[in-house]
Amino acid sequence: MIFKQFKGLKLENKGPYSKICLELGLDNFGATLDYIQALKYGRNSSKDNYFLVIKEQVGTCGTKHAFLYELIKEQGWSNWDLVLGIYIINCENTPQACEILEETHLFEVPNAHSYLKYKGEIIDATKIGSEKLEFKSTIQQETKIESHQINEFKKKQHQTFLRRWVGDNELGCSLSFQRVWNIREQIIEILSE
């Protein structure tokens, strides 16, 4: 169990999120975090239905953490936040992106990432290994959000940051905002494989 520190947070049947977890035999939050983290990383058919993480056995950082955050709220636990962080993808923290970054001579690109915070500490259940928090040292900004903000709000915040970043780094002469966005999308596709 990777998230054994949360094994003591027992789930009570208080609504649909805990009900589905208990039906899967997940009776504590540590086991639930491990279960969600082990699911394939990929986009759901809808970002607005967090139950699809369980039904489709796949999810992004947004849908997986929105599901978990709704479960946390349902349980009435305090000291938890859902966070939208903007961090820098580079070869060091995302080796799978290295080939694309080197081909485009970009070397790094901002990415929006959703995760939980418990008493200020990052809890990332995006995929196996994400608990290592390899992105943490490159976080540029963090915003507390609600689950419904993992879609359009997150995209708008990300694009606003990226437009500013492209301008600040004088990439506009060689790489447009749209080109950098497309490079980032290619990286996300690779991470989904």
Q: How many other β-carbons are positioned within 10 Å of the β-carbon of residue 80?
A: 17
* 61 and 136 assigned to the same domain: no
Statement to judge: residues 55 and 121 lie in one domain: no
pLDDT at residue 129, as a whole number: 87
pLDDT of residue 171: 61
| Final residue belonging to a domain, choices 75, 107, 133 | 75
What pLDDT, on the 0 to 100 scale, is given for residue 172? 54
Provide the token pair at 179.
């080109």
Q: Choose the final residue of a domain: 75, 98, 120.
A: 75
Helix and strand element counts for the chain (H, E): 7, 6
Identify whether residues 30 and 54 lie together within a single domain: yes
Domain that holds residue 134: 81-192
Q: Domain boundary at 34, 54, 75, which?
A: 75
- In this structure, the answer to whether residues 63 and 85 fall within a common structural domain is no
Q: pLDDT, tens digit, for every residue of 43-62?
A: 999 999 999 999 999 999 99
pLDDT value, residue 1: 63
* Phi and psi, residue 58, nearest 5°: -160, 155
Question: From CA 70, how far away is CA 179, in angstroms rounded?
Answer: 35
**Do 64 and 92 reside in the same domain of the chain?**
no
Residue 175: the pLDDT is: 81
Same domain? For 104 and 169 the reply is yes
Does one domain contain both 94 and 151?
yes
One domain for residues 90 and 181: yes
Are both 85 and 59 inside the same structural domain?
no
Pairing mode, if any, of strands 80-90 and 58-59?
A: unpaired
Report how far Cα 137 is from the mean position of its chain's Cα atoms.
Answer: 16
Strand partners, 41: 59
In which residue are the tokens 């799978």 written? 96
Tell me: do 178 and 88 sit in the same domain. yes
pLDDT for 185 equals 93
pLDDT of residue 78: 96
Task: Give yes or no for a contact between 150 and 57, defined as CB atoms under 8 angstroms apart.
Answer: no
Residues 62 and 87 in one domain: no
Tell me how many domains the chain contains: 2
Q: Quote the pLDDT of residue 130.
A: 85
Give the pTM. 0.93
Low-confidence residues of the chain: pLDDT under 50: none
C-alpha 95/C-alpha 102 separation (Å) is 11
Task: Assess whether 105 and 174 both reside in one domain.
Answer: yes
